[in-house]
Amino acid sequence: MAGAPSSGRDPLIDSTVDGRWRILHQLGVGAFGTVYLAERVGLGRQVALKLLHEEYSANNEYVRRFAREARALSRLQHVNCVSVLDVGSHKDRPYIVMELVAGAPLTEELGTPAMTTARAVALIRQVLLGVGHAHGHGIIHRDLKPDNIMITELAGVGEVVKILDFGFAHINDARLSQSNANVVPGTPSYMSPEQVHGIKTDPRTDLYSTGVLLYELCVGVRPFAAAEAFELLRMHRDDPPPPPRTAAIGRQISEPLERVILQALAKNPDERYPDAAAFIAALDATPEGREGRGGAARRKKLVRYGVVAAIIVLASAAIAVATHLR
């Protein structure tokens, strides 16, 4: 996770949680919890520690929701999903310790010249890989948006997407309490029609939100915009999205990619892709998808060639030294 420290002095700064995690400064404040930069006492390993807001710690529903996020994260072991390292309670406030993701939120890349359609497809492909992994563990994110997606760099691989914040996750486990029926999970700009209706969601809800992300990255604007949240939700429920190729300004979007985006944004879940794997396959078949995959393959090939070249250089040096010593 990344962010900037808050301006006010937080009484938790420099305190130690459970004798293990020393809090350094705030990274960000959300609706239900505060995320801190912390380090493991004695080891110095830096992590992101999310602590439920004090005013919610006496509310069983919010405590259960927080516990649900911890449960969700603990199931996920995937390069495109943030990993949970520890859970506990500090002065009756539950917390989650997660890996610290160095990078920038997808929000900072929106509308930049560097966000080509090929790069957009490549990034969304990684989102779908992470989402598909979560779905395979019975977890629906339900709040996919640019703020919850980090872009980091991995040596020898390039850009890597990390999905954060499973605070609204729905887990298909009858033993766990579900969200309050009066709470509509999600963020209006990225909510699926079924979320707007308040009916049961399934993995295709995340595919709709991912479709909104793909539209926004490729076109440069979201499919729907309104001053009032109520009107925005109505548009997700009732209005067809403007065709990406028409709405895009100064961007080239192929017809196959437009078809993929519009299918992901179908109002009826049955008309969307059945799962993340099918969505990925459709993206890979587009010109932008082939371009993005080709670039990734070339980068991997260059890395392999670099390793081989390094071995050859080292071997040649060793031979030269051995010859000199004779």
Question: Which residues have CB under 8 Å from 227's CB, separation 6+?
Answer: none
Question: Which residues have CB under 8 Å from 100's CB, separation 6+?
Answer: 1, 37, 46, 47, 48
Question: Is residue 305's pLDDT more than 70?
Answer: no
Paired residues of 84 in beta bridges:
98
Question: Is residue 5's pLDDT more than 70?
Answer: no
DSSP string, 173-231: -TTSPPPPTT---S-GGG--HHHHHT----HHHHHHHHHHHHHHHHHSS-S---SSHHH
Question: Is residue 214's pLDDT more than 50?
Answer: yes
Placement of tokens 């009066």 in the chain? 182
pTM, 2 dp: 0.80
| Structure confidence at residue 321 as a pLDDT band (50, 70, 90) | very low
What is the Cα 170 distance to its own chain's centre? Answer: 16
Element (DSSP H or E) covering residue 10: none
- The Cβ of residue 275 has, within 10 Å, a number of other Cβ atoms equal to 17
Per 3-state DSSP, the chain is made up of helix, strand and coil in percentages (nearest 5) of 45, 20, 35
Average pLDDT rounded to a whole number, residues 266-276? 97
**Average of per-residue pLDDT values in the chain:** 83
User: Which positions are annotated as active-site residues?
Assistant: 143
Angle separating helix axes 117-136 and 203-219, nearest 10 degrees: 170
Q: Are strands 84-90 and 93-99 parallel, antiparallel or unpaired?
A: antiparallel
Question: DSSP E strands: which ranges in the chain?
Answer: 16-17, 21-29, 33-40, 46-52, 84-90, 93-99, 104-105, 139-140, 149-154, 158-163, 170-171
Structure confidence by residue, pLDDT tens digits, 118-175: 999 999 999 999 999 999 998 899 889 999 999 998 877 889 999 987 766 665 543 3
Domain boundaries, the chain: 16-99, 104-291
Query: With contact defined as beta carbons under 8 Å apart, do 128 and 81 qualify?
Result: no
Least confident range of 180-194, 196-210, 270-284:
180-194
Q: Are strands 84-90 and 46-52 parallel, antiparallel or unpaired?
A: unpaired
Top CATH class of 16-99 equals alpha beta
Residue 293 to residue 296: CA distance in whole angstroms: 5
Closest by Cα among 50, 69, 59 to 171: 69
Domain 104-291 fold: Transferase(Phosphotransferase); domain 1 (1.10.510)
